[in-house]
Amino acid sequence: MSVLRVFIADDEAPARERLKELLQDIAEEVPTEVVGEARHGLEAIERIPGSGAQVLLLDIEMPGMRGLEVARHLVGLEGSPAVVFVTAHDKHAVEAFELSALDYLLKPVRAQRLAAALKRAAAGRAPDGEQLARAHNDAREYLSVTERHRIVLVPVRDIVFLRAEQKYVTLRTKLRSHLIEESLIALEREFARRFVRIHRNCLVARDAIRGFERAAPSNDEPHWMVVLDGIEERLPVSRRQWPTLRELVDEQNLK
């Protein structure tokens, strides 16, 4: 058996030490090499892509970004590692893992279980996005753009609008825009509290809406455009969405 490249992500130093100890203990059964460690979720996202890890031992409760979200951002990565989740006590996460057939270990981890999980991981594949999305009930805090060996994170709270164009969705912040491979419908469902649909192909951050302008009636009937905070571009509101948006604006004005 070739040496398995393992990455450890856990915010508690003793927990990382313990896993390394156990990996040594089972080295004869499953030879491994630790190729990287991370102390929190954001560090994991930064370090995993260049590490060449085949298996990721991923703690659930981490500051910065929780384990499940970390796993979701790794999905698009070339040669993304198989994931074994590790949790001390998270009833909901464990239920979700069971339902989505994701592999997990409970802390304190037993050497035997770790060996078995690593063998399965070496034989299996990285979890797919759908599987992870099902296990992850919360909305993500970031959307990610995967470059060849790098994951660029965009905080959801910085996003002004999301617009579907053909295969991709354009994600626009005040500073720049990115292309992401996600469906607008799934995004609308996940971030319903943050974004509102203004058009068949476009979601806008509720708190970025500054007002509405009537577009000059050039050829056909007049329609409304959304004025957004920090962005020059005006976005058209579909006739179908207009009543919902007007209510939203009335509510805001009342406040």
Partner 1 sequence: MPSIRQNTFSDLLPDFRNLGVIARVLVAVNAVAMIAAIYAAPSLRGAMERFIEDAAFLEPLLFVEVAMLFALSRQLGRMTYRGGCAAVVLLAAALAVIYQIAVSGMEQTPGALLRGAFFAALLAGVLLGYFRLLVKAFSPALAEARLQALQARIRPHFLFNSINAVLALIRRDPKRAERTLEDLADLFRSLVSDARRFVRLSDEIALLERYAEIEQLRLGDRLRITWELDAAPSDALLPPLVLQPLLENAVYHGVEPATEPGNVLVHIERRGNRVVARIENALIETEAERAGNRMALDNIRERLALFFDAEARMDTRTDGGRYRVEIDMPYLTRARTAEG
Residues of this chain that bind partner 1 (CB under 8 A): 11-15, 17-18, 21, 39-40, 42-43, 61, 63-64, 66, 88-90, 106-109, 138-139, 141, 156-157
Nearer to partner 1, 14 or 217 (CB): 14
Instruction: List the strands of the sheet with 224-228, edge to edge.
Output: 209-214, 224-228, 235-236
Structure tokens at 64: 């910065």
- Measured from the CB of residue 115, what is the shortest distance to partner 1 in angstroms? 17
Angle CA 162–145–69, to nearest 5: 90
> Which residue's CB is nearer to partner 1, number 154 or number 226?
154
Contact 7, 23 (CB under 8 A): no
Smaller CB separation from partner 1, 39 or 199: 39
204 vs 33: CA distance, rounded Å: 46
Closest to partner 1 by CB, 91 or 214:
91
How many other C-beta atoms lie within 10 A of the C-beta of residue 12? 14
Closer residue to partner 1 (CB): 88 or 192: 88
d(CA 126, CA 75): 8
* 217 preceded by a cis bond (ω within 30 of 0): no
Q: How far is the CB of 138 from partner 1 (least distance, A)?
A: 5
CB of 63 to partner 1, least distance (A): 5
Q: Shortest gap between Cβ of 90 and partner 1 (angstroms)?
A: 8
Contact 156, 143 (CB under 8 A): yes
Residue 204: CB minimum distance to partner 1, A: 19
Which residues, listed in sequence order, are joined to residue 225 by a DSSP beta bridge?
213, 236
Q: Are strands 32-38 and 4-9 parallel, antiparallel or unpaired?
A: parallel
Q: Which is nearer to partner 1, 55 or 156 (CB)?
A: 156
Closest approach of partner 1 to the CB of residue 83, in Å: 19
